[in-house]
Structure 1
């Protein structure tokens, strides 16, 4: 009976993570989905669309409308939650199955995680890579080589899927390296420091392999050993939005070195406001496409970015701070999930026309989203869990629950780092922080259960 209860809880957890896709009648799509699907069909790397994640989707297509891909994404989450329970709560058997099922159900019910497990987009890979990296470094003793390899593959997938995730994982590796170095100066922590050092190396190796996977896959498919193109242009879009690009051109133009000088006025909207990041990148009439588009404009925009950093360091710092703070406050579910994804539809029409009828029949095309109601729960839960992390880390360390303390601190640093990277290097959007915020609730669950179990053990010893 206990085995049956555990199995049922895991099945319910899987269904909860797939719920948005089941509601939709088709895996959830995003503006960028088509760009990833196209990787196996086009003859050059996609701008801002990492080839490895495209291969992940195409490899799990199986003529089943990409359902295998989102099932695998959901199973990755369930497996990581289970490994967290093993590592930090020492659970086994039916208790572990019940906690994994119930915990995943809770995450799906009151955070936006299921909208990422059900979505054809690498946003989920950022969060799962963070959790897998922690478990690689801080996980349980005596785990099998197979589990270690699987955790490494999750890190590799995350690092290979987006350059922003690479920056986040690199920052977390450096954060743990600093903690380990500091621990060597404190005698009670030297054993932990020695034990964790080689594990940090395993995490760093997985990160390096994930980074290397990108140019290797581009070499294999397109004969181009290069990273995902377009990063300079994404960054320049924020400079347009913040007015730094306009300030630079006003000071430097006319200058034959910069084609953008001829289009200064078009960096503003008709009402006189600064053109925003998304408008500069994606509007067909944007100056970006008049000076060479994604392929031709990159060198010029990169040069303007570099020279503006030297010319206006104060403006860059102020803009970066504003973007970071704004990003910290954006955690709503549903950002960008609208009914019109014309590029994804076009890609399907070109390469997988058999998918178009189901894609068009999906509930998503009818603009029938429940996000307003969902965010009445998701937003306050997300902020409350995020705010509770440093408090729970402090209490966990004070009461001798170091594993839970390190986990909650790690997640808190990850959320802060993610807000900085995404806000500063791209542009503040709700989905950037929302895709990781479920880790905050998981951290709170683990810390509370760890503290409760520690108190129960103490009381039993006193009895």
Structure 2
């Protein structure tokens, strides 16, 4: 029997200090949009996540994961602490990736974070109080556990085993993405050790979702009301509208009353207060309409899949291709993108000074969007330039039969593709959905295009078991 690889020894104190400074420096660089704004960037859904710990409330359309995760850091004191945690976690994950493949050093890490901060959408994902930033964390964490395990210390392994399932569970679209990474490990014949470690975050995330949904909704389900989102997508694309028109009024569905009047936009169906889901034909408002319509939504979705399976698949692939080409800041930086649900929860759950900081931010004065539009112009060019170098890294890792580098690189690329497929086909194309992950392409181009042969150097990262200042 082959003995399992031993964790790498702890680095000397000087190297640990240099690594800590590099990780902190990288995190600071990634926070520049929030620093410019004068406050974390806020989206309309931010209020719902705050309410998960302020009310507290189990939101029907969101897992009870990111709200408690954010609370661990902000503690109803300031949302600044949550995005600082975002930045530290991402900087640390990028550090681990570089070190595991033998590329990283403190100077290189800071330079890489500077490039990612200046040339990609990553700092905007870091700076917004939303679970978007945890999607790349989920993919990086799964890849490092699967292929980077021998090069990680015990504390790093423990940290990733705790963090990664939480990151996967924070958004339902992460589940199919991580499943794709697991399938990648099987296709590469990476060995059962790699496959089992790749499965741990997915299994852990499913367990978290099952437990929280039983507690909050009384239903042993990964997504108790996910059928509502699938229905919204199928209505927007058309097949579900045809199903409703063909089978009504015989089926007695509530939506039969809206035949010919359903919108061709999923967001309008889900969130517009005058839509069929949120207001009855007589004008009466429906409390938690998405939850109430879920049983009927399941029936319509199943009937639509039975009637037009090929059409649903082709439309999903079309949305996937559209999502692959849409990567921008989208509807996240304007004042109207904030909505009205944040202020009540800031008033109820945070000190008065927090609302004052929120109100004085550039975003609330509608001055942040101009900056966002200016910097976002370079994002597509960076992705185009990075693509050939990422592919070159793939070719070199394959030629060198470097299983570790090949697995990690392909995990990033599969994560990008899987993300576009999951959100495009299930929710619909939105620029910020792919922007949260598109920075993997320049990351791969820098880290993998010139692999460094030889033994992976010893870890030079602070051991969370020995230091209270670790990003973990």
Q: Give the TM-score category using the shorter length.
A: 0.7 to 0.9
Match of residue 41, structure 2, among 28, 53, 74: 28
Aligned to 2:303: 307
In 2, the alpha carbon distance for the partners of 1:262 and 1:120 equals 38
TM-score, reference length from structure 1: 0.86
Aligned to 1:271: none
Per the alignment, in what secondary structure is the counterpart of residue 289 of structure 1?
Answer: coil
Report if aligned partners of 2:54, 2:348 keep a CA contact under 8 Å in 1: no
In 2, the alpha carbon distance for the partners of 1:9 and 1:205 equals 29
Compare 394-403 and 371-380 and name the one that shifted more: 394-403
1:143 aligned onto 2:152 = yes
Aligned to 2:362: 363
Per the alignment, in what secondary structure is the counterpart of residue 267 of structure 1?
Answer: coil
Q: What is the CA distance between 1:403 and its match in structure 2?
A: 3.4
In 2, the alpha carbon distance for the partners of 1:120 and 1:359 equals 12
- How big is each residue's C-alpha offset from its partner over 1:349-369, in whole Å with a ceiling of 9 and x where there is no partner? 444472322222211112222
Aligned to 1:336: 332
In 1, the alpha carbon distance for the partners of 2:428 and 2:82 equals 28
1:85 aligned onto 2:85 = no
Aligned to 1:204: 199
Q: What is the CA distance between 1:47 and its match in structure 2?
A: 2.4
Per the alignment, in what secondary structure is the counterpart of residue 31 of structure 2?
Answer: helix
In 1, the alpha carbon distance for the partners of 2:266 and 2:217 equals 29
Report if aligned partners of 2:23, 2:92 keep a CA contact under 8 Å in 1: no
1:14 aligned onto 2:12 = no
Aligned to 2:443: 442
- How big is each residue's C-alpha offset from its partner over 1:369-420, in whole Å with a ceiling of 9 and x where there is no partner? 2122112211221243345433431233224554333332222221111111
- How big is each residue's C-alpha offset from its partner over 1:162-213, in whole Å with a ceiling of 9 and x where there is no partner? 1111121112112212222xxxxxxxxxxxx44xx22331231232112211
Aligned to 1:459: none
- How big is each residue's C-alpha offset from its partner over 1:205-261, in whole Å with a ceiling of 9 and x where there is no partner? 232112211333455567765545432111211112111122112212222421101
Q: Alpha carbons of 1:443 and 1:319: their partners in 2 closer, same or farther (altered >3 Å)?
A: same
In 2, the alpha carbon distance for the partners of 1:28 and 1:155 equals 24
Aligned to 1:279: 268
Gaps of 5+ in 2: 1-13, 281-285, 455-472
Report if aligned partners of 1:333, 1:378 keep a CA contact under 8 Å in 2: no
Compare 112-121 and 223-232 and name the one that shifted more: 223-232
Report if aligned partners of 2:77, 2:350 keep a CA contact under 8 Å in 1: no
Report if aligned partners of 1:327, 1:433 keep a CA contact under 8 Å in 2: yes
Aligned to 1:236: 231
RMSD: 2.4
Report if aligned partners of 1:5, 1:98 keep a CA contact under 8 Å in 2: no
Q: Alpha carbons of 1:266 and 1:158: their partners in 2 closer, same or farther (altered >3 Å)?
A: same
Aligned to 2:141: 132
In 1, the alpha carbon distance for the partners of 2:400 and 2:200 equals 33
Aligned to 2:129: 120
Aligned to 1:318: 314
1:327 aligned onto 2:334 = no
Report if aligned partners of 2:165, 2:200 keep a CA contact under 8 Å in 1: no
Aligned to 2:457: none
Which structure shows the higher helix fraction?
1
Larger RCO, structures 1/2 (Cα 8 Å, 6+ apart)? 2
Per the alignment, in what secondary structure is the counterpart of residue 335 of structure 2?
Answer: coil
Compare 142-151 and 161-170 and name the one that shifted more: 142-151
In 1, the alpha carbon distance for the partners of 2:243 and 2:301 equals 9
Report if aligned partners of 2:185, 2:194 keep a CA contact under 8 Å in 1: no
In 1, the alpha carbon distance for the partners of 2:43 and 2:271 equals 14
In 2, the alpha carbon distance for the partners of 1:61 and 1:284 equals 31
Q: Alpha carbons of 1:177 and 1:400: their partners in 2 closer, same or farther (altered >3 Å)?
A: closer
Q: What is the CA distance between 1:429 and its match in structure 2?
A: 0.7
- How big is each residue's C-alpha offset from its partner over 1:85-121, in whole Å with a ceiling of 9 and x where there is no partner? 2210165xxxx21222111111111111111111111
1:365-404 paired onto structure 2 within 5 Å: 365-368=364-367, 369=369, 370-386=371-387, 388-404=389-405
Aligned to 2:345: 347
TM-score, reference length from structure 2: 0.84
Report if aligned partners of 2:78, 2:350 keep a CA contact under 8 Å in 1: no
In 1, the alpha carbon distance for the partners of 2:234 and 2:217 equals 31
Q: Alpha carbons of 1:398 and 1:12: their partners in 2 closer, same or farther (altered >3 Å)?
A: same
Compare 352-361 and 114-123 and name the one that shifted more: 352-361
Q: Alpha carbons of 1:336 and 1:241: their partners in 2 closer, same or farther (altered >3 Å)?
A: farther
Aligned to 2:79: 66
Compare 104-113 and 290-299 and name the one that shifted more: 290-299
Aligned to 1:165: 174
Report if aligned partners of 1:330, 1:429 keep a CA contact under 8 Å in 2: yes
Compare 286-295 and 243-252 and name the one that shifted more: 286-295
